[in-house]
Amino acid sequence: MKRPRKHVLKLPLVEALQLKQGNENPKRGALIDCKESKLVVYLGDRQRIELPVPERALRWLREKEAEVEPLKVSKTVRIHWREDRDPKTLKVQIVLRVQRPRPPQPDPRQALLCFIDVNSRYGFAAVFASFDGERVRVHETLKLRPPNQSRRLREAAKRERAAAHGNKPNINYALARLSKKFDASGWVKSAAAEIFKKAREYAKGRPVWINIDAPDHRTVRGSSLQRTLLSIRRVVENLGAWYGAFVTFRCYSSHKCPICGERVQECRTTRTRIATCHACNFQEERDRLPFYHWIGELGLPLPRPPRLPRPDREAGS
């Protein structure tokens, strides 16, 4: 039997977040009835679908519209369903779009600088900094890691061992493949939203300049974080266009000293990777080395390196 494909229905969202006015009854489109907290979709021919809308979704829509005021937000409703499933389990998406020109490149001395290092070992490291008149001051270094997959990987290994011993091999191999699958799209979006939220808080009305240091797709091919690391570019471009932030994509070395250019030696503490240059005695977290190279390229004085814990040389470089 041929598997039915998923259908997508797109309709304009009419009178969103507004109460229905009198006898107004659109023939096509959709509207949100805030009084009854439901989404009414008009399909034509006097047919309509009524779906409940959680209160948190209404608050989210109001907050998103307030973020881009006074720009006008266009809304579209996407309804996903499958022919082989119950129509009650529909998936409804409300897509918000705003049109704004690409912002000009801001002055790095007046903007909030955010450097996002996409690391193939654990996830994202975001450095928030600004120029205080004398040198660059680092506000925070935020490190975000994907959800732990150890439990699901152990379950997949258990299924594979059972299949290898002849215990329902077809079923156990299929369940093992499903256990290994990990869709990080939700985590990537939430991590990018958290980074933009902090950037706007530190900016306090100033322009925001965000640079993404993403690895080449060939360096992460086949790794467990391949989809996670390569999807951040599209998500950041989307959020940058929504908030009006200036976004660039430039990669910098994390193995060279930003002061003298010599190769650094990596040592480890319990939770930190420390890069040390024996030529000029420069010492900093390895995750922040690309940020120093970016600051130097912008023509800004480098920030003062923080006091770091003593590295454990036995951990290796």
Report in angstroms the alpha-carbon separations of 102 from 113, 218, 234, 243, 248. Answer: 17, 30, 16, 11, 12
Average of per-residue pLDDT values in the chain:
79
For residue 224, the model assigns a pLDDT of: 58
131 vs 51, higher pLDDT = 131
For residue 220, the model assigns a pLDDT of: 61
Measured in degrees and rounded to the nearest 5, phi and psi for residue 171 equal -70, -45
For residue 300, the model assigns a pLDDT of: 92
Strand partners, 131: 136
Tell me the residue length of the chain. Answer: 317
The domain segmentation of the chain, as residue ranges, is 7-97, 112-147+183-315, 150-180
Kindly indicate whether the domain formed by 112-147+183-315 is annotated with CATH number 3.30.70: no
Phi-psi region of 85 (alpha: psi -120 to 50; beta: other; left: phi over 0): beta
- pLDDT over 50 (residue 114): yes
DSSP 77-100: EEEEE-TTS-TTS-EEEEEEE---
